[in-house]
Amino acid sequence: MTIASNKTLCFICNEEKITHPCKGCSKEFCFKDLAEHKQILNDELDHIVNEYNEFEKTIDEQKQNPSNHLLMKKIDQWEINSIEKIKEKAQHWREVVLEYSPTLISDVEKKFNDLTEQIKQIREENEFNEINLSYLKNQLKKITDELNNPSSISLQQNSKLFINDISIFISNKPNLNKWEQTAITVAGGNGLGQQLNQLSSPYGIFIDKKRNIFIADYRNHRIVEWKYNARKGHIIAGGSGNGSRINQLNRPTDVLVDQQYYSIIITDHGNRRVIQWWNQYQQILIDNIDCWGLALDKNGYLYVSDWKKNEVRRWKMGEYNEGIVVAGGNGEGDQLNQLDFPTYIFVGEDESVYVTDLNNHRVMKWIKDAKEGRIIAGGHGQGRDLKQLYCPAGVIVDRWDQVYVADCGNHRIMRWCEGKEEGEIIVGGDGDGDQLNVPMGLSFDDKGNIYVTDRWNYRIEKFEIIL
């Protein structure tokens, strides 16, 4: 007879023995290994008791000193990290301000020097009144405010955050934009001719807010408007042949749109007059003037260059008497108070007049009421070097006072930063006239694209800005 066995495998020694179960882990142990298993459990219990005792001490410590709480330590670490980040950001913006500071001071110093020059002239002429003094006081206050609280650079804070984040916003730092070197033909480009899709020696140009293009079509004796993206233009002035009748033009050199009065103003060069057109109605604004270039300032004053008298005059719209000389007017010459064949002009926000001084191969800037100008581009004789110009034509100035010039004899468009001895080529300059051939007029649209009247290629070229 076989005796029934009550032996099973021990979980630890893995031998068949009489075993005893552990309810906690549901495993079987022999007597010897059961005692060892219980000792392990006792040791673990002792460890847990020690942890409880340690925790009890922690509670007692935090009762005594709540600042030792773990959350406090996390807050302390957050504070250290935040302060470090604030220091890093503050140092970064200090470096930005230090980098920009010379430009800011230079701009203020330039305005201050212009004011100083005006004071010098007033003293020399000994002609002044309360209006002059009030103007000088206001200008000094403006440049003082600009130095202490410059509009071009400011500290901005994000108050929505618990710790205010700061940043430096610079609105007047020169932006050295670049343009595509391959142009898009936006008007003409179909050879020399009189058809509505052709041009003949385009000169001055104007781009309105809708990017419509107004062109002084010199040898076709007309002003042509090309709507945005149009394949052909339409005649809005002249176009009735070369003549001196009120509805005719003779070699117009420049055009602008007076958007306040919805009219166009034209330098009717061959007829020695400045003429205004409203649709099919015309009136002569200024007669017996050897006009070339045009400009309107923010106050609605009209500026016209006279290439024979070597001067630029300003008129109040509707009051066309003798006008006021604002540049040149001291005979033909190359001195700072003279011009030699002034052509295109630009008027800045501060009413400074920029004029291309063709035969002196330079661009001059005349601040308001100045008796002489300042060379801001060229002025080193005719040539192709970066410090030279060759019969400059169209001129425009951006909001950073960077001057753009149609360097017509060198078939290129140049940018000059005021105070620099050299300019830089923006587009063109290949020398053979394929890209640009005697560029004349120059304009920006609202996106910063550059438009150029490419005279001997009989077209208007658009160079798109690279964003």
* pLDDT tens for each residue of 97-128: 787 777 778 777 877 887 787 788 778 777 77
- CB count, 10 Å around CB of 122? 15
- Summarised one tens digit per residue, pLDDT across range 20-55 is 888 888 888 898 888 888 888 888 888 888 887 887
What does the angle CA 338 – CA 339 – CA 342 come to, to the nearest 5 degrees? Answer: 155
Task: Report helix, strand or coil for 131.
Answer: helix
Instruction: Enumerate the domain spans of the chain.
Output: 8-62, 84-170, 178-466
Detail the DSSP E strand segments found in 271-352: 273-278, 281-287, 291-296, 301-306, 311-316, 319-328, 342-347
Options 3.40.50.300, 2.120.10.30, 1.20.1300.10, 3.40.50.1950; CATH for 178-466 is 2.120.10.30
pTM for the structure as a whole = 0.67
Nearest to 325 by CA among 274, 371, 273, 265: 371
| Residue ranges of the chain with per-residue pLDDT less than 50 | 1-2
Q: Which helix (H) or strand (E) holds 39?
A: helix 31-64
Detail the DSSP E strand segments found in 4-78: 8-9, 16-17, 19-22, 27-30
Report the pLDDT value the prediction gives residue 167, as an integer from 0 to 100.
Answer: 63
Report the pLDDT value the prediction gives residue 297, as an integer from 0 to 100.
Answer: 93
Report the pLDDT value the prediction gives residue 1, as an integer from 0 to 100.
Answer: 45
Report the pLDDT value the prediction gives residue 434, as an integer from 0 to 100.
Answer: 74
| Inter-helix orientation angle 130-148/70-125, to 10° | 160
